Structure 1
Amino acid sequence: MSKRSSAKYKLDRRMGENIWGRPKSPVNKREYGPGQHGQRRKGKVSDFGIQLKAKQKLKGYYGDVTEKQFKKAYTEASRMKGDTGQNLIGLLERRLDAVVYRAKFAPTIFSARQLVSHGHVRVNGVKCNIASRLVKVGDIVELGAKAAEMALVIEAQGLSEREVPDYLAQDGTTKVSYQRVPALDEVPYPVKMEPNLVVEFYSR
């Protein structure tokens, strides 16, 4: 399990966007960056800076995955047929913690990863505690009996700020089937993600 090195909302403020679309995000009140220099006027950002920000935003959205894991996903995406940016999004959306988050089994991507790592999630009936595992089309992802009664899960299912996307088929409140790998425009990001800039960043 990758360790989160900083508060999740600090990433929102650094990016200047509410990247998870949560009502508690401090960006809703303060759009400037964190720290004593957060309100300074920003100079012109270079192409590299724009690409880096796009990478940090996408990497952060998926629970601040490690650089090693993220680079590995990019490398795999670049080997696949078709558009590398779309392939990268497809791979990230196939991560088990991302599927758990999309299914509204957890209120945040971080708590989704915790649910998986604590053994509360089953894939095709088999317990799996590897958050980075890639789910395949047709796989059934469900919560264990204990997890279904957890306050965290009940809170997540009551959230009005996001819905379960079409590429997951719900079977009750604790089970989903992975229908297809989504395209970029099907993924319900609250903010604009630019995987093409991430591809440019790594292909320099």
Structure 2
Amino acid sequence: MSKRHSEKYKIDRRLGENIWGRPKSPVNRREYGPGQHGQRRRGKLSDFGLQLRAKQKLKGYYGNLTEKSFKRVYNEATRLKGDTGELLIGLLEQRLDALVYRAKFVPTVFAARQFVNHGHVLVNGKRVNIPSYRLQVGDVIEIREKSKQIAMVLEATQLAERDVPDYVDVDHSKMTASLTRIPTLSDVPYPVQMEPNLVVEFYSR
């Protein structure tokens, strides 16, 4: 399990955007960056800076993935036929922790990673504790019976701040969900603009 070294809201403030759309994000109150010099006016970013920022934003959104993990997904996207940026988004959305988050079984993507790590999730009836496990269309995930009454799970399903996207079929009464199709960038309900094309440009340098 990779350790997250920075608080999730520090990621928000460093990027200057509320990347998960959370009401508690400090960016809602302070749009400048953290630290002593955070209020200094931001200079215009170079092309490299824009590409790096796009990569950091996408990595951060999926639980602040390590560079090694993120690059592995990118390399997989380059091996497939089609638009690399769109394929990158599709592969990230196929992660088990991403689907647990999309199905509103947990409140945050960080909680989703921990929830999977602790063995609370079944995939097609078998326990899987690897957050990066890649789901296929039609795979059914289910919350383990003894985990269905966890307060965090019950509260998350009632969250009004985000909706379940149409490429996820979820039944909160049974605590099951499945991926009905691989989404494209326009399908994914990102609260902020994601630019996978700039991520591709970053790695293509």
Runs of 4+ in 1 over 6 A off after TM superposition: none
Q: What CA distance in whole angstroms lies between the structure 1 residues aligned with 2:35 and 2:20?
A: 21
Residue aligning to 2:62: 62
Q: Relative to structure 2, which stretch is displaced further, 152-161 or 98-107?
A: 152-161
- Give 3-state SS (helix, strand or coil) of 1:27's partner: helix
- Give 3-state SS (helix, strand or coil) of 2:142's partner: strand
| Structure 1 unmatched runs, 5+ | none
Provide Cα deviations, 1:100-157, integer angstroms capped at 9, x if missing partner: 0000011000100011000000000000000000000010011011221111111211
RMSD of Structure 2 on Structure 1 (CA): 0.8
Alignment of 1:137-152 (within 5 A): 137-152=137-152
| Structure 2 unmatched runs, 5+ | none
In the TM superposition, residue 172 of structure 1 has moved relative to its aligned partner by 3.5
Q: What CA distance in whole angstroms lies between the structure 2 residues aligned with 1:13 and 1:19?
A: 10
Partners of 2:121 and 2:144 within 8 A in 1: yes
- When normalised by structure 2's length, the TM-score is 0.98
In the TM superposition, residue 186 of structure 1 has moved relative to its aligned partner by 0.3
Alignment of 1:1-204 (within 5 A): 1-173=1-173, 174-204=175-205
Q: How many positions carry a matched residue from both structures?
A: 204
- When normalised by structure 1's length, the TM-score is 0.98
- Give 3-state SS (helix, strand or coil) of 1:122's partner: strand
Q: Which amino acid aligns with 2:192?
A: V
Q: What CA distance in whole angstroms lies between the structure 1 residues aligned with 2:14 and 2:104?
A: 26
In the TM superposition, residue 171 of structure 1 has moved relative to its aligned partner by 2.7
Q: What CA distance in whole angstroms lies between the structure 2 residues aligned with 1:170 and 1:99?
A: 10
Q: Which amino acid aligns with 1:176?
A: A
Q: What CA distance in whole angstroms lies between the structure 1 residues aligned with 2:110 and 2:146?
A: 19
